[in-house]
């Protein structure tokens, strides 16, 4: 369990104090925080809660949404992401997960949207470096291209990240979003060679997909992803950081948090770290 982290969305119905207590009682050493849950108690108190509990903060979710076409939208995105970087630093994590954003209403120019992402990353990267926080670009499955992320593959994420120093911009390897990619092994190796893997997140691809496809993630072992192979690739690429469980699923959210953590730990041992 030494590298296991609870991404806070997995126990969505828990407050931050409840999630911290749950991790401590279960023996989970790290937590990935969400900004809305942090905002409920304030950044200063959140940092103290986690620190006093002896937990590490694996990531902060999330920054991004960098595809606005108008000047005011771009300025607002820049300001919001600067705040997110500062929050990450205060919370004691070196990783801010970036969901880059989808296509604005009426926009069908994917290359243009990706160019706008690169432009705002260029403005943010020096500040990230100054704060010691790396922006971790998370490619999302192509079904989310229109509304959440115009970056769909690990290769595309690396094309963006490699425009900047590795300590400023990295990538997230999220099993749910990348498992299907026929170039995945090659791109994981590329990410490792460049020191770009900032986070490894796991959950399973389960069927049938719900009406809200965002909520189609299941516990590791309940779906179609080969976690042993994927973890071996990430490990071979040199990643030794946190393995963060991030599940969006109404049934999981409605389950008692303690039960969710027990299942999460059992599946971690059985499917992720088992020899």
Q: What is the pLDDT along the chain (275 residues), one digit of tens a residue?
A: 999 999 999 999 999 999 999 999 999 999 999 999 999 999 999 999 999 999 999 999 999 999 999 999 999 999 999 999 999 999 999 999 999 999 999 999 999 999 999 999 999 999 999 999 999 999 999 999 999 999 999 999 999 999 999 999 999 999 999 999 999 999 999 999 999 999 999 999 999 999 999 999 999 999 999 999 999 999 999 999 999 999 999 999 999 999 999 999 999 999 998 76
- Number of H-type helices and E-type strands within the chain: 11, 10
Q: Omega of the bond prior to 26 within 30 degrees of 0, cis?
A: no
The whole-angstrom separation of Cα 177 and Cα 163 is 22
Please report, for the domain that includes residue 167, its CATH number: 3.20.20.150
Number of domains in the chain: 1
The whole-angstrom separation of Cα 157 and Cα 173 is 10
The whole-angstrom separation of Cα 136 and Cα 191 is 12
Phi, psi of 180 (to 5 degrees): -80, -15
Give residue 45's domain range: 4-272
Instruction: Say what the pTM is.
Output: 0.97
The whole-angstrom separation of Cα 237 and Cα 234 is 5
Eight-class DSSP state of 14: S
The whole-angstrom separation of Cα 210 and Cα 160 is 31
């Amino acid at each position: 369990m030494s590298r296991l982290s609870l991404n806070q969305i997995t126990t969505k119905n828990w407050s931050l104090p409840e999630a911290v207590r749950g991790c401590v009682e279960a023996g989970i050493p790290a937590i990935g925080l969400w900004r809305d849950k942090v905002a409920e108690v304030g950044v200063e108190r959140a940092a103290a809660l986690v620190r006093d509990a002896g937990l590490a903060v694996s990531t902060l979710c999330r920054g991004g949404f960098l595809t606005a076409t108008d000047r005011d939208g771009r300025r607002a995105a820049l300001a919001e992401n600067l705040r997110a970087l500062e929050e990450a630093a205060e919370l004691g994590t070196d990783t801010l997960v970036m969901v880059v954003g989808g296509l604005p209403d009426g926009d069908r120019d994917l290359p243009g949207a990706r160019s706008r992402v690169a432009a705002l990353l260029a403005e943010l990267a020096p500040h990230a470096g100054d704060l010691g926080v790396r922006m971790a670009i998370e490619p999302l499955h192509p079904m989310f291209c229109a509304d959440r992320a115009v970056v769909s593959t690990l290769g595309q994420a690396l094309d963006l990240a490699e425009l900047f120093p590795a300590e400023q911009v990295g990538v997230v390897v999220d099993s749910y979003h990348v498992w299907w990619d026929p170039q995945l092994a090659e791109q994981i190796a590329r990410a490792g060679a460049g020191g770009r893997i900032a986070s490894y997140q796991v959950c399973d691809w389960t069927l049938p997909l719900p009406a809200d496809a965002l909520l189609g993630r299941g516990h590791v072992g309940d779906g179609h992803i080969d976690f042993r192979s994927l973890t071996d690739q990430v490990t071979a690429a040199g990643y030794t950081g946190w393995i963060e469980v991030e599940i969006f699923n109404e049934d999981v959210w409605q389950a008692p948090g303690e039960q969710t953590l027990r299942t999460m730990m059992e599946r971690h041992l059985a499917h992720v770290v088992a020899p």
